[in-house]
Amino acid sequence: MKELSLPLKILIFLLLCIGVFLWLLPLGVAVITSFRTNDDLLMRGFLSLPKELSFRNYGAAWTRGNLNKFLPNSFIITIPSLTFTLFLSSLSAYALSKFRFRGRTIILSVFVGGMMLPFQILLLPVFKLSETIGIYDTYWALIAIHTAFQMGFCTFVLRNYMVTIPDSVTEAARIDGASEFRIYWNIMLPLVIPAMAAIATLEFTWIFNDYIWPLILVRTDRLMPVTAGLAILQGQYIMDWTVIISGALIGTIPTIFVFLFLQKYFIRGLTMGSNK
Amino acid sequence: MGLNKSRMAKLTPWYFLTIPLIIYFLWVIGPMFYTFYLSMTNWDGLSDPQFIGLKNYTKLFRDPVFFVSLKNNLIWVFSFITIPVVIGLALAMILNQSVPGSRFFKASFYSPMVLSLVVCGLVWSWLYNPAQGLLNTFFRSVGLESLAKGWLSDPDLVLGSIIAVAIWRQVGYVMILFLAGLQSVDPFLVEASKIDGCSGWKTFIHVVLPQLQPVTIVVVVISIIDSLRAFDLVSVMTRGGPFNRSSVLANFMYIVSFNNYKMGYGAAVAVILFLISFVFIMMYLSQISKEENY
């Protein structure tokens, strides 16, 4: 199909333009809504030209809707989770890729199988565990489950990447008498930075966008990340869609930012897990 | 010395694995098994769970909401392994050509994936809003009054309305996976079949599609697992209503456990959900181990 005729090429291009327009329409509608006032919408209908545009809804969502608290919470939860899970997965991935030992295949399968579990099978025991060890209703409850759960995917991807690094690299250091930890830290880690960057961007959006765990593990509104915070906002501003939608857009900014600037890594991360 | 060294070598992987495994077992593997036990108990979340055998399961199999949720999950699975796969593959095939602006098109189609399901649910609830939402406003303004519906309040439409949102978000992901898969399609075989006089469609069916089989299996398994996990959209858009018509197992499990405090019963729902997923997880693992043998 490489030598498409020109009319066909133009037709495909036009169809794609229509497709993309329809695909992005919901987002465009959200942006327009967020700048309008509720009265303006109620009285004149959605398809009217707005009389005035303002940032007032954003202000309402930010302060009265508490997004100024929820958004930092999301970072407080996401950044440590991401750091811990990447560090721990790189340890297990190193063991699983560079050593032959009994139980290796089983451990790898357990990590891979675990990454596909429906969360529901973990909800109740993790809720109980968090209460038992006294981290229920703290950031730590969320950091712990994200770190643990994401380890499956990260270990799988990092291990697949490390397998492609020739053993001669680590062997040479071993002969020079470097300690095992030094080999991992000074030789292996720098080599897997590309894979780390790819899964870090992906994991960032996953952890940042998670909704179910804060519902289960946090009771205090003040500690909620932005996803659960938006659900609270939805309850408070039940009739005021302009404020709810503004809040939703604020909650989206960090992941959009990651996506726009790290798009290359983001896509690489997506396909790494499925297509080595 | 030699003995010490080989014992050291045997221990080395465990030196790296111990801490990750402890955390993984405490928060993932252990809880998984503990849910099996909880599903055979009566537990309100506060006092100690009391063992009651299989009573939760017998109750579950007489609960109409369970069956509605199960049916809805299966509809979700079926929609997910057909519609996004077909659209995603078609987009991948088109965008794999030298179309002007293909980078922009790719980025646009997968951009919904970056949004959280909560945000997708909120934005679409607004589009579906019966009085002011874009969808009904549009139908009314072009004189198609009869097509303006209560998308989330009509029991017959609600499930489809929610699944449509999920599909909107999923298509870009499937497209990316197929685009990656297309990288491994042998261009020489494609050329050869063209020289042999095969039409584009025939080449696609007989040459390209067979080579996409591994990625297709991955896409299908991921789609199934994702559709069984579905929770956020339902929770934000309808909470399973009206009359449980949009309920799915994950949502049912949450409501039973955390709104009604019947956690043993909720655990039984989770186990059923797990068992269905397990079949597909196993398929995925066997696919991976097949690739591993190359």
According to the model, what pLDDT value does residue B11 have?
85
Q: How many domains does chain B have?
A: 1
According to the model, what pLDDT value does residue B5 have?
59
Where exactly does CATH 1.10.3720.10 map onto chain A? Answer: 66-236
According to the model, what pLDDT value does residue B6 have?
66
* Average model confidence (pLDDT) across chain A: 91
Tell me whether residue B61 is exposed, middle or buried, using C-beta atoms within 10 angstroms of its C-beta: 0 to 12, 13 to 18, 19 or more: exposed
Q: Which residues of chain B have pLDDT under 50?
A: 1-3, 294
Q: Report ipTM for this prediction.
A: 0.93
> Rounded distance, CA A226 to CA A32, Å?
21
More confident call, A9 vs B272: B272
Q: Is residue B270 included in any domain, yes or no?
A: yes
Q: Which domain holds residue B110?
A: 37-292
Q: Quick check: A255 and B195 in contact, CB under 8 A?
A: no
According to the model, what pLDDT value does residue A4 have?
66
Q: Decide if A275 and B141 are in contact by the 8 Å CB cutoff.
A: no
Q: Which neighbouring-strand residues pair with B50?
A: B42
According to the model, what pLDDT value does residue B292 have?
63
Q: Is residue B135 included in any domain, yes or no?
A: yes
> Rounded distance, CA A147 to CA A142, Å?
8
CATH number of A66-236: 1.10.3720.10
Q: Which residues of chain A from 2 to 31 reach within 8 Å of chain B, CB to CB?
A: 2, 4, 9, 12-13, 16, 19-20, 23-27, 29-30
Please tell me which of the candidates A91, A127, A276 has its beta carbon nearest to residue B16. A91
What is the SS3 assignment for B248? coil
CATH number at residue B70: 1.10.3720.10
Q: Which neighbouring-strand residues pair with B42?
A: B50
Please tell me which of the candidates B20, B225, B236 has its beta carbon nearest to residue A88. B20
Q: Is residue B12 included in any domain, yes or no?
A: no
Q: Lowest-confidence range among A61-65, A253-257, A264-268?
A: A264-268
Q: Is residue B48 included in any domain, yes or no?
A: yes
Q: Does A276 score more than 50 pLDDT? A: no
Q: Does A99 score more than 60 pLDDT? A: yes
Contacts with B9 from chain A: Cβ below 8 Å: 99
> Closest Cα partner for B157 from B237, B67, B77?
B237
Q: What are the phi and psi torsion angles at A160 (to 5°)?
A: -60, -35
